[in-house]
Each structure stands twice: as structure tokens, then as C-alpha cells.
Structure 1
Amino acid sequence: MDEDFKTKALESTLQSPSETLLSIQLLDFKTSLLEAIEELRIRREAEIHYEDQISKIVVEKQELEWQKEALQHQTDTLHHQNEEAVATFKKQGKYQLAVETKEKEIDGLKEALKALQISKYALQKKLNEMVRN
């Protein structure tokens, strides 16, 4: 076995220049092939990594869109509730103003009634005096 190894080693050192050039070209080809394979492997891993990231981003985007829709719905609901509250407040204000106006009118009519009653009393008194005279 040692002899076979020595023979092969001796044969490799005794190669012709064209065989040596062929061996160098073969070694260069193998090296280039291994480099290309390694680059492809790295590229494939990078693509897998980027696809995973893209998938995560797509899922996150969808979740954010759902959150946006939920917040928009909530905003719309609150806006509607606010409009209803403002309308109710305005109605109450108009009602309150109407009540206050009616109360003032009633107070004015009461004052007018008192004045008329006093006037009636005074006229009644004068009439009674005239009838007595």
C-alpha cells in the first residue's frame, strides 16, 4: 500500500505540462463550482429569510389595517354619539328657554292681573262712593 501511494505520488510529479495545466484548470473549475454552490446556498437562505420577513410584515400590515378599521368605527360611533348629545343639549336648551319665556310671560300676566284687580278695586270703590252720594 505504501508502494501504491509512492507510485501515485511519483506519477503526479512526473506529469507532463499539459496534464499539469489540465489539473490546474480542473482544480480551478472545482473551486469556482464550490464557490457558486456556496453563493447559491447563501442566496437561498437569504431568500427564505426575506420571505419570512415579508410574511411577517404582511401579517402585521393586516393586523394594523384591522386595528385602523376598528378605531375608525369607534371614532365614527363616538362622533355620532357626540352629535346626538349636542342635539339633545340644544333641544334641552330650547326647551329651557321656552319654559323661562313662558314663566316670564306668566309673571307679566300676573302683574297685569294684579294691576287690573287693583284698578277694578279702585273703580269699584269709586262706584260705591258715587252710589252713596
Structure 2
Amino acid sequence: MDEDFKTQALESALPSPSETLLSIRLLDFKTSLLEAIEELRIRRETENNYEDQINKIVIEKQELEWQKETLQHQTDTLQQQNKEAMAAFKKQLQARMFAMEEEKVL
């Protein structure tokens, strides 16, 4: 009876081959699941980093466009001022030339 009890206890302590296979499959599934979760976490983190970089680039692009518009406006203003100054200089030069010609005639 004592030997039957030991044999029965030993048999109940050792899992059957199907239980062992199930345990291995379960462990493999858990490992795969953890790997998938880690990959998703890394992907999410990477996507968040990319979104942050994209947002920074968009803001920088907008600031550069504003600077470009400001510089373009300044350039247009300076060109207009130059055009007006050249026109005034041309009038002065023509007036002086006209005055010099009148002095020659006199």
C-alpha cells in the first residue's frame, strides 16, 4: 500500500506528455505575446518621436515662410525706394543739364 501511494504520488507529480506539450505551447504563446507587445510599444514610441519631429519641422517651415515673406516685403520696399530715388536723381540731373545748356546759350 505504501508503494502504491508512492507510485501514485510520483505519477501525479509528473505531468503527462500532453500536459507538458500544452505547457510548452502556452509558454511559447506567452513569449510571442510579450514580444509582440514590446514591438508595439517600440513602434508607438517611434511614431510619437516621428510625430514630434514632424511638428517641429512644420513649425520651423512656417517660421521660415514668415521670414521669407518679411524679407520679400523689405526687398519690394527697398526696390520701390530705389526706383523713386533714381527717378528723383534723373529729374535733378535733367534739370541741371537744362540749366547748364541755358547758361551756354546765354
TM-score range, shorter chain: 0.7 to 0.9
CA distance in 1, matches of 2:58, 2:18: 58
Larger Rg: 1
Partner in structure 2 of residue 70 of structure 1: 70
CA distance in 2, matches of 1:18, 1:105: 127
3-state DSSP class of the match of 1:15?
A: coil
| Aligned AA (2:49) | H
What residue number does 2:38 align with? Answer: 38
Aligned twin of 1:115:
none
* 2: CA distance, partners of 1:65 / 1:87: 33
Amino acid at match of 1:24: I
- Identical positions, percent: 71
Question: Could you state the TM-score of these two structures normalised by the residue count of structure 2?
Answer: 0.87
Unaligned segments of structure 1, at least 5 residues: 1-6, 107-133
Question: Which whole-Å CA distance do the structure 2 matches of 1:88 and 1:21 have between them?
Answer: 99
Deviations 1:82-107 (CA, angstroms, capped at 9, x unpaired): 1011111111110010000011011x
* CA–CA distance in structure 1, aligned partners of residues 85 and 21 of structure 2: 93
| Partner Cα distance (1:48, 1:65) in 2 | 26
Letter of the 2:83 counterpart: E
The Cα shift of 1:58 comes to: 0.6
TM-superposed CA distance for 1:49, in Å, is: 0.7
* Letter of the 1:21 counterpart: L
CA distance in 2, matches of 1:93, 1:84: 14
Structure 2 partner of 1:28? 28
- Partner of 1:83, secondary structure, is helix
C-alpha displacement of 1:17: 1.1
* Cα distance between partner residues in 1 of 2:17 and 2:95: 114
Shift of 1:18: 1.1
Deviation beyond 2 Å, 4+ runs, structure 1: none
What is the TM-score normalised by the length of structure 1?
A: 0.70
Report matched runs for 1:1-133 at 5 Å: 11=13, 14-106=14-106
| Distance across 1 between alignment mates of 2:45 and 2:62 | 26
Provide the C-alpha distance between the structure 2 equivalents of 1:78 and 1:17, rounded to a whole number of angstroms: 90
Deviation at 1:57? Answer: 0.6
